[in-house]
Amino acid sequence: MLLARELPNLGTLLRGENPIGLERGRELVARTLAVVQGHPKLIELAEGQASDPAALLQQVEHAAAAWAEREGMLTAFFTEGASQYTAEDFLNVLAGWTRGVSETLPSAARTLFHCLCALEEDDRQNWIVEATWEHLWRRLAQPGEVPDLAATLAPLLTMGLVEAQSVGDATRYTLHPGVAEAGRAEAADAVQAAVDTELGDFWVARYRHGVNEETDSGGQLIVRAARSVVPYLLRQQQWEKVSILLDRLIIRDQSPEMVATVLPWLRHIASATEGSEQELQSAGLLARALGKIGRIAEAEIALQDIMHKAVARGQFHTASAAAGEIMNLLCDTGRAEEALALVEQKQDFTQRAGLGPWTQLGDEGWRLQILNALGRYEEVLHTVETLQMYMRALPEERQHNEITEPWHVREVIIDTAHTAAQALHRWEKALTLNAMIITSQEARGAPALRVAGTRFNDYSTLLCLGRYGKARTLLHTCRAVFEAEHDIARLGRVFSALANLEDTLGHQAQAISFVETALRYNYLAGSPGDCAISHHNLSVYLKGAGRNRKVVLAHRSAAGVIDLQTGSGELPSTLQNLVEDFAEYAPDLPPCPDDFDEMCRLVEAVEGVRFRELFERLPRRVATGDAALAAVLQGAQEIAQRMVQQSHPPAPDTPRKSGKQGTRRRKSGKKRASND
């Protein structure tokens, strides 16, 4: 009663400042409080109607009738201090109350209410509603001019059906889930259909705008639009369109959270399209997502099934794509020889699909990348020299029988040769090859961000040549572009590279400062792999500076925990780097963190590091943080013990140079490479 007194309308009834007088006003409030049973949303709705005592009385009587089946339980709220009704009971009463309020609304306001209920929760924002209100009104064939949105919204706010909340520069329209469900049930099917169509068109248009305006930064607008449009397209059963958008979405955002969000949608599409022409495409998209969250065996089996079904149906284009995905999985799990054996099959499928010479060259690019993984660098360089003459003879414009752009195939093949040249320490050759890629990108008008990312790949080569001044200039040039384009992930990598440079020059304090900055950016970007790289490199720099060894081992262990949970191929390297510490302190143990909580506390001393939050988003190969930390430390200890027994000294503990943008991460010494 005291709380009700603070509310404008119910308070007026309690104080007698109303047409029905003090006694009747207090009686109505008492009955209202008994009926709402302390439910916050019911109180809001009652407050909204309390400006009209007659309307509130009618609503209270309807609600009391809904409770009447178990008469006497209403009073238990006051006598026992808690309601005796279930959540389902409350939802039923809330639905009835919502219908009662909705029926009193003006026609236009009721239409707007139904449309807001049909919107996905994240889309109930003023800028989205303003952009689609006119189209929704006309699609629902409402007579007359389009009503003013603010005036139409006002009764919904007054009656408590909708709450307006400021979120930055936008306004969010919040509806209680029970109210929204009741509104959807009350509205005609035509309302949901109109909302699905208009919001589907709205987000597809935003997606295309993002693509047109994209500067190769990953495109937050593209990601938002692709994610937001999915529920609307699924209800319209536009399987092909939604599959394409989901494919683009997980290419741009491969975070565990995003893949976990997308996976149920992909399963739904795969089930809905089973037996149709789109069956294999949908199954392939689901398989790729499974691979991205580390369910490799399940993904591989699914892709093998897709490939065999596609061959049996004569769908060789699909078979070729499935073979490529299988090769990816094989390489990611250290089975490059198996991947190489599959290349000929993929090439055969591509030819039988009638695809053009550039697409067939793309398969050769696959083979060259696998040869790099097998360490056959000389063969790669020799082959690419021959291919360059062949590529110059092919048409520069994409033909009708190609599924890839000529420039893309050329740049991938040259980039593969660049990787081989770096592995062979042919630094001048590497600079020449990277310059060829930059020339190609500039000629086709690639975004400045893409070109800067490729220029960044010269950094490690310049460092190895001892051209430190040029390396510093390059990194600051790239940093300026990355900052201008607000590319958080690449900024993390450029600061990691700057730390690498300062460490090489013996400037340990600056190296530590830069890698801590890299960590902050990596956590903002949400990239577990890059976070692991920076944690490891920070441990190396801290150790070199003679800092607290427990902090050193905390960062090194954090890198190991991330590698373990994500199934990273860097885990053996991480364990090897921990081995030195175990061997150094043998037979005693080094000063490792006592448990997961202490490790989190130590690494989170770096501003912006939220390791515990990151861990919660990782795949759960090991159930708990303590178990993951124990597994990493035990693995390192076992390797150290074997090496001591065999009199094998551990490898020197040096950081890794920052790796290439847009290529797989490769091992190079003991410092971890950061790349795309």
Query: Average pLDDT of 500-529?
Result: 94
The mean pLDDT value for 348-364 works out to 95
At 301, which amino acid appears?
I
Instruction: Return d(Cα 663, Cα 266) in angstroms, integer.
Output: 27
**Mean pLDDT (whole number) for 538-556:** 93
- Does 675 score more than 70 pLDDT? no
pLDDT of residue 669: 26
Residues 385 and 519 in one domain: no
Q: Of 442, 444, 432, which is closest to residue 406 (Cα–Cα)?
A: 444
Q: Which of 494, 606, 609, 514 is CA-nearest to residue 562? A: 609
Whether residue 193 has pLDDT greater than 70? yes
| Residue 133 forms part of a structural domain | yes
Is residue 83 assigned to a domain?
Answer: yes
Confidence of residue 417 (pLDDT cuts 50, 70, 90): very high
Instruction: Specify whether the CB–CB gap between 655 and 642 falls below 8 A.
Output: no
Report if residue 489 sits inside a domain: yes
Give the CATH number, domain containing residue 596: 1.25.40
How much is the pLDDT for 657?
52
Residue 361 falls within a domain, yes or no?
yes
Confidence of residue 54 (pLDDT cuts 50, 70, 90): confident
Q: What is the mean pLDDT of residues 214-219?
A: 48
Which of 113-127, 193-207, 553-567, 580-594 is least confident?
Answer: 580-594
Domain boundary among 406, 430, 446: 446
| Residue that finishes a domain, picked among 155, 187, 219 | 187
Q: Are residues 628 and 525 in the same domain?
A: yes
Q: What is the pLDDT of residue 662?
A: 41
Is residue 387 domain-shared with residue 514, that is, in the same domain? no
Q: What angle do CA 73, 78, 83 make, to 5 degrees?
A: 50
Residues 6+ apart with CB under 8 A from 143: none
* pLDDT per residue as tens digits for the range 584-595: 777 777 899 999
For the residues 617-627, what does the mean pLDDT come to? 89
Which pLDDT tens digit goes with each residue over 628-669?
999 999 888 888 777 666 655 555 555 655 556 543 222 222
Same structural domain, 534 and 649 = yes
Give how far Cα 110 sits from Cα of 93, 105, 156, 162, 352, Å.
Answer: 20, 6, 8, 12, 59
In this model, does residue 145 exceed pLDDT 70? yes
**Could you tell me what percentage of the chain is helix, strand and coil, using 3-state DSSP and rounding each to the nearest 5?**
70, 0, 25
The number of folded domains in the chain is 4
**116 with 49, same domain?**
no
- Mean pLDDT of the region 339-360: 94
pLDDT in the model for residue 500 = 94
Are 382 and 458 within one domain? no
In a domain, residue 344? The reply is no
Q: Cis check for the bond before 587: say yes or no (omega within 30 of 0).
A: yes
Q: Tokens for 154?
A: 């006002």
Distances (CA, A) of 519 to 221, 477, 532, 581, 672: 25, 20, 9, 23, 13
pTM of the entire predicted model:
0.66
Residue 346 forms part of a structural domain: no
**457 and 360 in a common domain:** no
> Which one of 70, 85, 103 terminates a domain?
103
Half-sphere exposure (Cβ direction) of 497: Cα atoms closer than 13 Å? 33
Residue 629 falls inside a structural domain = yes
Q: What is the mean pLDDT of residues 559-568?
A: 89
What pLDDT does 676 receive?
A: 37
**How much is the mean pLDDT over the chain?**
86
Q: Count of CB atoms within 10 A of residue 328's CB? A: 17
Q: What is the mean pLDDT of residues 69-82?
A: 70
32 and 78 assigned to the same domain: yes
124 and 38 share one domain: no
**For position 428, what pLDDT does the model report?**
97
Mean pLDDT over 89-105 rounds to: 79
Specify the pLDDT at position 290.
Answer: 85
Residues 394 and 535 reside in one and the same domain: no
CA–CA separation, 44 and 174 (whole Å): 13
C-beta of residue 652 within 8 angstroms of C-beta of residue 583: no
CB 582 within 8 A of CB 636: yes
**Number of C-beta neighbours around residue 401 at 10 A:** 12
Residue 463 resides in a domain: yes
* CB within 8 Å of 416: residues ≥ 6 apart: 365, 368, 369, 372, 380, 384
Contacts of 224 (CB under 8 A, 6+ apart): 206
List helix spans (H) across 485-610. Answer: 488-504, 508-525, 528-544, 549-566, 571-585, 596-603
Q: 4-33: per-residue pLDDT in tens? A: 888 888 888 878 777 778 888 888 888 778
Q: Judging by DSSP bridges, how do beta strands 170-174 and 163-167 pair with one another?
A: antiparallel
Residue in the block written with tokens 């060789």: 316
Checking if the pLDDT of 622 tops 50, the result is yes
Query: Can you tell me the distance from the alpha carbon of 599 to that of 611, in angstroms, rounded to the nearest whole number?
Result: 9
Rounded to 5 degrees, φ, ψ at 165 are -125, 135
Residue 490: closest CA among 475, 505, 509, 507: 475
In this structure, the answer to whether residues 99 and 125 fall within a common structural domain is no
Is the same domain home to 64 and 180?
no
Both structure tokens of 305? 């099934």
Confidence of residue 401 (pLDDT cuts 50, 70, 90): very high
Burial of 139 (0-12, 13-18, 19+ CB in 10 A): middle
In order of 82, 272, 441, 665, 674, the CA distances from 569 in angstroms are 55, 35, 31, 9, 14
Mean pLDDT of 315-343: 91
Query: Lowest-pLDDT range, 81-85, 175-179, 278-282, 429-433?
Result: 81-85
pLDDT score of 576 more than 80: yes
Q: Is the pLDDT of residue 141 over 70?
A: yes
**CB-based contacts of 150, cutoff 8 Å, min separation 6:** none
pLDDT tens digit sequence for 603-614: 999 999 999 999
pLDDT tens string 450-472: 999 999 999 999 999 999 999 99
The CATH code of the domain that includes 111 is 1.10.10
Percent over 90 (pLDDT), the chain: 54
Kind and range of the H or E run holding 173: strand 170-174
Mean pLDDT of 400-421: 94
The pLDDT value recorded for residue 214 is 54
What domain range includes position 388? 355-446
